[in-house]
Structure 1
Amino acid sequence: MWRYDGEILGVGSASGTRLVVGLWRRSPFGTFADVMVEDPGGRRTLLAPSREIADEVARLYRFDQVRLGPVRVQGSAASDAHPGLLVVSAPGLRLTVTLGGRDGLGRVLSLLPRGLAASTSWARVVDAPARLLAPGVRTAGLTRDGRRATYGAWDRRRAIAVEGTWSGEDLGVLAPVDPPVRFGFGSSPRAPGLTRVVTTVRP
């Protein structure tokens, strides 16, 4: 069983490009960040810091191309009273996201004990309600190579602004993650935000 403990940032943009940034504090590969990008035409790109990580992520999710190179994330914490910033740099990508306080989902998630929220049993129980309440979102399913995977979330903060470029093109202002991204069995929520999560992958 492999676990990835960290945050997932999901944002859309006025250009139609949607981005999912993984900030993994603890993982089988140590601490790392990766980025999944889907452009308006549906082309899916993985930005990964090493071939080893790219190969593993590509076994879990579907991509049309992979770009290798440094993926760096710097940031300041957000609170209900003070916004925070995440600055992401990766091959072809420059992204700055302003984060606000908890949204409604975040307030609900923050009430859950972390142990419960991160359990695979809980993720399977809440998968059906999650699909009804947040179209495109899944908390349990199968990876590209047929392994069982779950997402256990226990906090979430709003994204309130975005700026940056992808492949030299301006992303434009913040927009919903719509249509849902198609990397794996589920999308990040339509409302842009940063979710604290444990991803568990079983054989």
Structure 2
Amino acid sequence: MAEVEGAETPIGPTEPQSRHIVYCGVCSLPPEYCEFGGTVKKCQDWLQSIHPDLYNRIWSADALEAATSSLSVEARKRAEKDAHKKALKAEAAEAKQAATIASSKVIIKRVERNKRKFVTAVSGLEAFGLDNKKVAKDFGKKFATGSSVTKIPSGGEEIVVQGDVSDEIEEFLLENYKVIPEDNIELVESKVKKGSGSG
């Protein structure tokens, strides 16, 4: 075959083109897919404040009109009804989550193991969306002591920290985990009973 004159052949491999993808700060999906998550309103608010141009491209009245223009009148009504239902469902879920957080308690318990030896048990953190293992690790670093996650008979988990650090843990939680209101932390003292042998 004869080479075509003037045609340039690439020298070496062509550079791959990178693509910048935005991920939602609320649901972690690309903004085009936020509508399939349960937090559409929060996602829209986040997108509008962080990427207004992208928000206008996806959620502006013109964009929504263009997206639904090919639908029949009946299909449009169904889509609007579905969107309204999803919005109501998301609002109800948010209200339920807020009520759960308002009624949840973090219990910080000072437990006497034997004479003058204490451990501090912390339970109820999962109600505030916190990971017990991560918080236990933070406690271990902060207080330079042993800290572990254990199962409790009621079915949940608690963090057991070596030593009497209940007041310090309360301060640490309030400083580092702003999702926990101060009124929702309760300090408790309990003793582990030894076997009752009459002698």
**TM-score, scaled to structure 2:** 0.27
Higher relative contact order (CA 8 A, sep 6+): 1
Q: More helix by proportion, 1 or 2?
A: 2
Q: More strand by proportion, 1 or 2?
A: 1
- For the pair shown, which has the larger CA radius of gyration, 1 or 2? 2
